[in-house]
Structure 1
């Protein structure tokens, strides 16, 4: 009996240890993150100690990271800066996608431009990205956030609130974007009007990266393998991903036209150099987030944000 109890304790302790050694990556539903799930579907992540944990919104991903339920995440660059502000040490190891029209503001019938948003109710996810897109759109058309009514909405509420007429416009992205367009919504602003300012990245908490760089390297290699699969077997990849995203392959293909998925060479240029290009974008974002009082810390070390020693296949 004692041996049995000891065996249970050993197994339990082993399970706890193993769970701590796993890279747990949190994501929300977004086509730009799908190569990770495609890699899992195709078996590329087999034998790699990694768990993909899906949440319904970016807000939930951030919450999980702050609660230490995950130690890696697919996030926008502004969300990474928020984690730094909260006292965490996320390190950017990969640029997953660059929004080039994928993030949008969609208005109801009768709203034909950003200028028409004055005095209107706008649904926005309660994240820095939502605030950033709305602020930049309004600025470009001579308006301020004070001139509109911001309604905080989780992503999974965008469709229902728009359809029921509870908001006049929403700041959103796929797969909600396609659904709203089918309901008669009209795109009045998209991220192609602010090129290079909205970037999705994969981050890993520094302590895990320091202890298990080989795990992160394997995940990155699997990511690029999945991206290559998407290029070489496009129809098959679109079918697999569209089923997960609950949209048609045609809608998914259209969504991918609104973003750039950087290849290995571009990733090295953006992240893995002595002076990564993404640092310039991060500094610009940080400045805007300070102006909008989204960031509270007086100093955030941008230089430590990028890990330049992870070998990426060249």
Structure 2
């Protein structure tokens, strides 16, 4: 039996050169699941693609930096961070937007964003957390100088909130639901800044230039899997829930807070001549410099978006 399996793998791998393989790293997140649905349904069987799941985004970043993978599902700030390390990741697909999944929750007595002035706000020390808070404060005519920032890891959010050590927190599921049960209330969420908190698929430019047809085939199968998710939610949820070990109810909550854009919207977002996401990327870059997440004065993000792999409907 072992000889048969070995022979199969040898024949399969010989179909493609090693440098043709697109090795995609992801962490666990429902927005990335159409990739795994596509794999489960056999949509990727004729494409030299290998998907590697890591337990955290930091592990995905480490694998990319170590050249273990040449493609990844990332947030836009992580793409910019890779650029600051000297890599050339190119965004070829917008996988999902946070559409209410990221929130600012405050304790009783804080009714509006304006009430945050002078208050202590817990937030992860990340570009994404800083961006979310900055955009929320802008809506109220405030800046980060008007509040007291308390750097907190996500696993500290609930405890600090319950103990009254912070007045509000920038967080997301599953912590979001727990803090709401503890008496918090949402005063701002990512649906109020549509298309700004985003997950994307990147491919390293060197691979992209050599194997554009592989990337195009993968992107086509992504949209095929997204359609399957819409048209056959019960079967798709079975695949996803078994993989992620979560209930349908938890999946429904997760998908209620994200939006998966279609082909047309993707083309507008990534169009190389005037990509809609460029303004978001430049604002993120500014925040990352201010927070000293990156130190370089000049980071090239020109050519970071490429929508040519997305075909018409």
Q: Normalising to structure 1: TM-score of the pair?
A: 0.79
The answer on whether the counterparts of 2:272 and 2:305 sit within 8 Å (CA) in structure 1 is no
Aligned to 1:151: 151
Aligned to 2:282: 283
Shift of 1:96: 0.7
Shift of 1:192: 1.6
For 2:56 and 2:156, the matched residues in 1 are separated by 10
Cα gap change, 1:111 to 1:36, in 2 (>3 Å): farther
Q: Tell whether 2:113 aligns with 1:120.
A: no
Aligned to 1:237: 236
Shift of 1:218: 2.0
Cα gap change, 1:91 to 1:46, in 2 (>3 Å): same
The answer on whether the counterparts of 1:175 and 1:247 sit within 8 Å (CA) in structure 2 is no
Deviations 1:271-304 (A, max 9, x none): 1453222223323333443444444333333331
* SS state at 1:304 partner: coil
Aligned to 1:43: 42
Aligned to 2:309: 310
For 1:179 and 1:237, the matched residues in 2 are separated by 27
Shift of 1:145: 4.0
* SS state at 2:92 partner: strand
- Structure 1: gaps (5+ residues): 1-10
Q: Tell whether 2:86 aligns with 1:93.
A: no
The answer on whether the counterparts of 2:102 and 2:189 sit within 8 Å (CA) in structure 1 is yes
Cα gap change, 1:308 to 1:264, in 2 (>3 Å): closer
Aligned to 1:226: 225
- Structure 2: gaps (5+ residues): 1-9
Deviations 1:41-69 (A, max 9, x none): 22222243222222333333223322322
Aligned to 1:72: 71
Q: Normalising to structure 2: TM-score of the pair?
A: 0.80
Matches within 5 A, 1:173-252: 173-181=172-180, 185-252=184-251
For 2:174 and 2:64, the matched residues in 1 are separated by 23
Aligned to 1:55: 54
For 2:176 and 2:29, the matched residues in 1 are separated by 11
